[in-house]
Every structure is written in C-alpha cells, then in structure tokens.
Chains A and B, each alone.
Chain A
Amino acid sequence: MSRTRVVLGVFLAFILVAPLVLPAFHVTLLNYIGLYGIVALGLVLLTGVGGLTSFGQAAFVGMGAYTTAYLTTVYGVSPWLTLLAGLALTFAVSFFLGFISLRLSGHYLPLGTIAWGISLYYLFGNMEFLGGHNGISSIPAINFFGLALDSARKFDYLIWTLTLLALLSIHNLLDSRSGRAIRALKGGGQMAESFGVDTARMKIIIFVYAALLASMSGWLYAHLLRFVNPTPFSINAGIEYLFMAVVGGAASVWGAVVGAGILTILKQWLQDLLPKLLGQSGNFEMIVFGVLLVLLLQRAREGVMPLVLRYFRAPRRPLPAAAQVLPQRTRPAAGETLLELRGTRKAFGGLVAVNDLSFAMSSGEILGLIGPNGAGKSTVFDLVTGMLALTGGEVHFRGERIDILSARAIVPRGLARTFQHVHLLPAMSVLENVAIGAHLRGSKGVISAALRLERTEEAMLLAEAARQLERVGLAASMHEQAGSLALGQQRILEIARALCADPVLLLLDEPAAGLRYREKRALAELLRKLKSEGMSILLVEHDMDFVMKLVDRLVVMDFGEKLAEGMPQAIQANPVVLEAYLGGVK
C-alpha cells in the first residue's frame, strides 16, 4: 500500500474517531478547521490554481449564514431548504460581481472584492431585519433524518463530510477537461483561447464555485453556533481566508485543509500568548500573520504543500482504456483552395506590420512563409488564427470568411497553431498539455467533471493526446512535467497539441528553432508524413536548408509586404529576395 493511502486512511480514521474522544475544546477547533477549510478550498481553486484573488470570501460566508439565520428564525423554513436558498442568492450575487470585474485586468477583482466585502459587512450590521450589530440568535439545529445535530460533536461529522466532499469535487474537477482549462488560466490564457477555451467563462465559473463553497461554510457556521452577527464576516476575516490558501499553497487541494489547520491553531495559540506578552488585549495575531505571509511569499511562494508532497510521490496512473476513438472531421480534397488572404492589413498605431498581403494555399500543400526578422510573419499567424483583429482585408478558410470570428470560433473549423515562443504549462504533464489541444473535441463541463460523470469522454481525450504524442515521437516523455523537456522537445509537444485539435491546416511558427541537426531531420520526416496523410501546413521558419527541402511553395515577406511567391528553386534565384536577405549591392 502506498504511503499516500496510509496517511489518508489514518486521517479519515482520525476524523471519524476524534469527535468521540477529544476534549470539547479540540472538537471545536476541528470544527473550525473544517469550516475554514471549505472556504480555503474555494480560494485554492480561484487564487492558487486560477490566479485570481479575492479578499471578499467572508462576505459570501456571511451571505450563506444570514440567509439561513433569517429564513429559519422568521419563517421557520427547514435548514436544508435555506441551504439551497443561500446558494442561489450567492450564485446570483457572485455571478454579477464576477461578470463585471473579471473582464478587467487582474487587479480589479481583488480591489473590487475588498470594496464589496466592506460594503456587505456594513450592510449586515445595519439592516434592522438582520438584527443589526446584535445579530440573530436562536437559530434551530439541523435535523438529519430525525437526529438533531445539536452538539459540536455531532455537528463535526456534518462539517467534515461536506469538507471532504468539497475537496473531492475540486480534486476531480482539476483532473478533467475543464480542469486543464482552469489550470491554463494562470500563465496560459492566450494559448488556451487559441484552442477554444472560453477563458472569461472559466474565470466566472471558478469565482462562482469558490463563492458557493464559502456560502455553504456560512450555512454550517450559522447552525453550529446557532447565532450570527456581522463580526466574523468582516474584511479581515476575508483576508485571513486568503492567508490560509496562500499558506497551504495550490500544489494540492489538501493545501486548503493544511492552511486552514495551521492558521486556526496558530491564531488560537497567539491569541493566548500575545496579550500576556504585551500586557494588553487586542488582535495582535494580525502582526504575526502579516509578517508570516510576507516571509512566505518572499521565501516559499508555493506555500507549505510542496514540502509535504515531497514525501508522497504521485503514483503514475496508467492511461484509462478508451472504448472509442474521437471522431475526425472530413478532410478537404487535395488541391482545393484552403486558405486565402485578400489584402490583409494590420497596423499598430503608425506601424504597418502587414501591408495588404494576399496569397492563397491549397489543400495538401506545405507552404513556407519566410522573410527577415520583423517582416510580419508571426503577425500573419495571429491574424489568421484570430488572435489579432485585422485593420483591413479579409481572410477566408475553406470558402468561409474567418477574419470576423474570434480565435475560439476559428479552431473548430480545422485550424491549429504552434507559437514562436513556446506556450506551455510547465507544471502540468506532457500528456495533459497535449490534451488541451483536444478541448473542443469534448463537451462535458464542470459539474460532470466534479461528479466524475465524464470518464468515458476523458479517456477518449487522453487516448487522443497519447496517440498524437506517439505520432510525433514523444510518447516516452508522456508523464514527465512539460517544463522539464528540452526546448526542441517542447516545440514538438506544441505540434502534438495542435494535432490534437484535429486540424486540416497546421500553422507552425519556427518549429525548427532550437532543434539539433538530428532533431531537425526527424521533424522534417514528421512533417512529410503528416503531408502524406493529407495535412496542409503553413510554415514560418528561418532555417533555409530545412525550408527549401521541405516546402512545395514559398511566400517571401519583407516589411509587411509580399516580396515574391513561387517554387523554392525560383525563390532562391530571385534577385529581389536575395537583396532583402543579403543586402543590395550599390
């Protein structure tokens, strides 16, 4: 049995027995760790994994707590129904707040959360019907099939059941198609968009998910204490929740529970110690928390989990057996016009990067796009794939105008690319990185992922990723971290990822850069093989030897304009091209 399983088993046994044997004080502490852990779990997903920060989670906790407190005491509604009511209210509010702030640059969300965290706190304290600063008391106990959960010991089981379920749901979510998209948000947003991930939607989803978990924690809190007042939902509490997530770190979902545990116990200890030391009473633990967090971010940005995980090597999971292969799109007949640029133009302010460029390529062709540095080749790629908006002209793909479409809408039409500067998620495995390419070939969303209802589709996606890795010759490195590969291999990985999108046209931006001679030969071999299978390739490359031996035709660009177009031999003899590359003889 692996060490992970032993520790997990011991922990579960502890959770099961602890409420029966521990003294009351420790049971209370355990309850709080569970409650805070649920909120911190949401933040591990939102901040740790997704790279979005919220200081306002305490306000969502308050929303869940006050909804149930009000409805159960005034209208006598069953707590199970008020849980749903609280979640529904939180959903509406968090969706609205996420919608307006997530479209802005990264720091507006945290600033916004501070502002409405304060705003909601004062609202709780000033609304007459919520009991003002005195709060609401005599909240009923939760009744579980006739068993009243009216003591901290009994309640402990409910808290930890929900904590562990929340943990499992996020663990499942991160290990799925949606999870890969979420993990790409931090540092890979553009790449994810170019493979069809709706990053704005993913951000809202994780924000709402974190808010819902906070609301559930608030519901538990209200029924554990049977009393609510505004104090535990202040902005300071919101900041402490974020501390928990940062202390635990995002390396594992367990970071939330570990972070909540460390901070809860530390706070308890400091609240006893510091006032005695300083001879006055007050929340002096704030000082220590602040200093601790600064030191942590300066010395160990990833939190404590990486230190813990060092003792638990993740087992290498075998690939799940896929019953079916993903369906492939119909390929165009060879020789059919595939891509056509008509007077394409892109200006950045006064700089015209692409100047009325027109060319066409047909199906089954390898077309090389060459030109000196700064000629506008990569900009052409960005225009064709929809990453940049055109200033003028049109782009047509398989007879359809695509320059008016977003990057996300262009991928499913059969166009996939690699990047000049590799865009990988270094902490994810090679296989998972490649599977992002197949994002649009699956359809299952966040809820089915959290509940593990998408395993058939997931197996098909991973099998496809593995198949493409085999195709490009990287199958042996499948389970390694993408960041540990050599640069040349990372470029090949990008090709596999693009192939995963099932394209009919592959756009490769300098695939041979950084490759050694032997690797270049293997790459040329691979591209020829792809061509023989009916793939069309548009290639930007500087290595002339590589290009001339591989391509069918060339388009030469200089200063954003087309200089020449033709067969490799003709281009090599073209005086205009020679002048552009080697300089004119005056």
Chain B
Amino acid sequence: MNTEIALFLVQDGLTNGAIYALLALALVLVFAVTRVIFIPQGEFVAYGALTLASLQLGKLPGTAWLLLGVGLAVAAVELVQALRLGAVARIPVIAFKFIVLPAALLWLVWWAAPQKPVLTLQILLALALVVPLGPMVYRLAYQPLANASVLVLLIISVAVHFTMTGLGLVFFGAEGSRTPPFSDAQWKLGVLTISGQSLWVMGASLALIVGLLLFFEHTIYGKALRATAINRVGARLVGVSPAMAGKLSFTLAALIGALSGILIAPITTIYYDSGFLVGLKGFVGAIMGGLVSYPIAAAGALLVGLLEAYASFWASAYKEVIVFTLIIPVLVWRSLTTHHIEEGEE
C-alpha cells in the first residue's frame, strides 16, 4: 500500500464515518430521551435516498403514498382515542394533520416530480415526505408502550424494522438506486484527489452536528429533550410531555436518517434493505459510547468508517465480518470497565 492509496482510504473512511457519526448521534439521542434502541434508523436512510432517486427520475416516490397510508393509520388511532375521551373538538385537527396534509403533499409531489425541479427543492420534497414518518412511527408503535422495559422496546424496534423493510420493498421495488453527485468538482492536493461529494458529506455532517449542538443548548425544545434524557419524571413534573419529547426525538432521528441517505446516495447504490447495515454501523459507534456519550459515539463511528475502508481494501469479502466483529472487543472493553449488578426490569 502506498501513501496515495492510504490517504484515499482515509478520505473514503472519513466520508462514510461522517454518515455513521450522524446516525450514532441520532441513536444516542433517541435512546437517551425515550430508552428506545432505534433499529429502524437505517430504514430512514434508505427511504431518504430512494425518495430522492425517484424524484430525480421525475417519478412519484412510493413514500408519498406510504405517508398517506401511515397518516390514515395514525388518524384512526387518534380518532378512537379522541372519541373515547369525548374530545370531539380535536377531530378536525387530527383530520387536517394526518389526512389532509399528507394528501396535499402527495398531490404536490405528483405535480412537481415530472417537472424535475432543482436539486435543493428535490431534497426538501424528499425530506418533507420521509421525516414526518418518524413521529408517526413513534405514535403508532412506541407511544402506547412508552413505559415498557428497554428490552420490550427493543423487540418493538426490530418489529418496526421488519415492517419498514418490507414496505420499502413494496414501495421502491427490489432494484437499487444511485443518484448523481451534488458536485463533480475534484481537487488535487499533493498525491490525493479530493472529491466534491466527500467534502459535501463531511461539511453537511459537521453543519448538522453544530446545528444539533445549538438546538440543544439554545432552544427551549432542545433543553426539554435534554431534561427528559437526564430525568424523565423530573422533566414531566415541570411540564415536558413525554409524548412530545418522544415525537420530537423521533423527528430529529428521521431527519438525520433521511439526510444521511440523501448524502450517501451518490456514493453507494442503495437498495430498499441497505439501510439496516448502514444504521447498525452507526450502532457499533454508539455502543462504544455506551449509548450515552455523544462525542465517544461520534469518534467510534468515524473509527468504524476507517476500519471499513481499510477492511474493504485488504479483505473486501470479509468487510462486514470485520466491522461487526469489532463489537466484540468493544463489549469486552465495556464489560471490564463496568461494575454493577443489573436489577432486572419489569
């Protein structure tokens, strides 16, 4: 291996690692606020990428129909609850939020997609279609079980992952998609060629991380999420609704997931089920941080990206084996540094 290849692999690893770091942050966020281990994170990556790919082909993305379908399901659940509580006044709001808005979005995308708007608009449309699925999934699958144990919530996560992967196959089909890069620019830096796309990925990841930081430090909702993460009961006592915190954290996770998908789509071909592995690599990073530390999770995710880049150079067939076996030394390390008897939940 010469310096050129080594540096190329570093660039490749850091580009992917930046995506994994974003996902790791979202996973830590969701776990801290809701105790949900968010396995379906990867599906949002795939949905984001494939929705953008459809829009670039001038086709109506399957997610538009999916959003309406899921919206109807949420509306049904909310209506039953509203009727049971006798809160008739809420019915128009529910109908507007979960039926009219998704339907309007469906119509908008149906009208806009064939005209192939500029990339920025396409990205905004893709986000508008995918991100609302986050809080809706929370409402349908997790909110009724918000107080269940971490393990029950984890099994729910795996079930949601199953369903979303299957739905991905229905709405996007089995073929993979790859979108054109945001930028074709290339710079020579000594022996190294830096591609515009990898700068885009790293820049966008960094911007998003800084944005999250500002959100948590300086906005009331960010502070509410932090409060919930530190003490759920305490946050509730001062008026932070757990359902609001849950939906908000899922919205952020869906946003991060969909954006990651949009960023990664020009680099690698994404299939309906690719998200799972991408998301799990974020997990390996998040586990390094014990699912609580943001900086260690991000650093761990970068390490995963680098390891993956070098593994695919030295032993490409064993790339996944090497990346996922990394969890074993991580667990050994954590098990040696943790000392406590866990009292069983439930």
Interface, chain A (partner B; CB < 8 A): 51, 53, 55, 97, 100-101, 103-108, 110-112, 114-116, 118-119, 122-123, 126, 185-190, 193, 199, 236, 239, 242-243, 246, 278, 280, 282-287, 289-291, 293-294, 297-298, 301
Do A108 and B331 have beta carbons less than 8 Å apart?
yes
Q: Say which residue of B37, B156, B334 sits within 8 Å of A104 (CB atoms).
A: B334
Smallest Cβ distance from B345 to chain A, in angstroms?
7
Smallest CB–CB gap between A486 and chain B, Å?
A: 22
Please determine whether B163 and A291 come into contact, CB atoms closer than 8 angstroms. yes
- CA gap between A108 and B170 in the complex, in Å: 32
Least Cβ distance of A190 to chain B in Å?
5
Per the bound structure, the CA–CA distance linking A294 and B280 in Å amounts to 21
Complex Cα gap A187–B149 (Å):
11
Let me know if B331 and A55 touch, CB within 8 A. Answer: no
Chain B contacts with A in 127-174, Cβ cutoff 8 A: 140-141, 144-145, 148-152, 154-156, 158-167, 169-170, 173-174
A51 in contact with B346 given A115-B324, A116-B325 (CB within 8 Å): yes
By a CB distance below 8 angstroms, the chain B residues around A55 are 158
Which residues of the partner chain A approach B169 to less than 8 Å between Cβ atoms?
282-284
| Closest Cβ neighbor of A199 among chain B residues | B341
On whether the beta carbons of B342 and A283 are closer than 8 Å, the reply is: no
Residue B120 is within 8 A (CB to CB) of chain A in the complex: no
A118 to B173, CA, bound (A): 23
Q: What's the Cα separation between A301 and B346 when bound, in Å?
A: 12
Q: Considering residues A53, A115, A297, which has the most beta carbons from chain B within 10 angstroms of its beta carbon? A: A115
Q: Is the CB of A286 within 8 A of B158?
A: no
The reply to whether B344 and A284 form a contact with Cβ atoms under 8 Å apart is: no
Q: With both chains docked as a complex, state the minimum distance between the C-beta of B117 and any C-beta of chain A, in angstroms.
A: 29
A122 to B315, CA, bound (A): 13
Q: Are B166 and A100 in contact (CB under 8 A)?
A: no
Are A111 and B283 CB-contacts (below 8 A) given A118-B324, A122-B320?
Answer: yes
Pairwise interchain contact B320-A286, C-beta atoms closer than 8 A = no
Taking CB atoms, residues of chain A closer than 8 Å to B318 are 122-123, 126
A contact residues around B283 at 8 Å (CB): 111, 114-115
Chain B residues positioned under 8 Å from A185 (CB to CB): 344
Task: Assess whether B332 is interfacial by the CB under 8 Å rule.
Answer: yes
**In the complex, given contacts A107-B37, A282-B174, what are 6 additional A-B residue pairs having Cβ atoms less than 8 angstroms apart?**
A101-B335, A119-B324, A126-B317, A246-B155, A283-B166, A291-B159
Complex Cα–Cα for A100 and B287 (A): 14
CA distance A80 to B162 in the complex (A): 37
Residue B7, interface by CB 8 Å: no
Is the beta-carbon distance between B152 and A297 smaller than 8 angstroms? yes
**Sample (11) of A-B pairs whose CB atoms are under 8 Å apart:** A97-B328, A107-B37, A115-B327, A190-B341, A282-B174, A284-B169, A286-B162, A287-B166, A289-B163, A294-B156, A301-B152
Interface flag for B284 (CB, 8 Å): yes
The residues of B that contact A115 with a CB separation of less than 8 Å are: 280, 283-284, 324-325, 327-328
Cβ–Cβ < 8 Å partners of B230 in chain A = none
CA–CA, A199 and B164, complex, Å? 37
Q: How far is the CB of B172 from chain A (nearest CB, A)?
A: 11
* A297 with B341: CB separation less than 8 A: no
Q: Assess the B320–A290 pair: CB atoms within 8 A.
A: no
Report the bound CA distance from A100 to B150 in whole Å: 20
Interface centre among A108, A243, A246, A289 (most CB of B within 10 A): A108
- Are B328 and A286 in contact (CB-based, < 8 A)? no
Are A53 and B159 in contact (CB-based, < 8 A)?
A: no
The answer for the CA separation of A107 and B164 in the assembled complex, in Å, is 22
CB-CB under 8 A from A112, the residues of chain B are 327-328, 331
Q: Which of B154, B277, B280, B317 contacts A110 (CB 8 A)?
A: B154
**Inter-chain contact A100/B331, CB cutoff 8 Å:** yes
Chain A residues with CB below 8 A from B287, complex form: 108, 111
Partner of B159, one of A111, A114, A187, A293: A293
**B residues in contact with A239, CB < 8 Å:** 158, 162
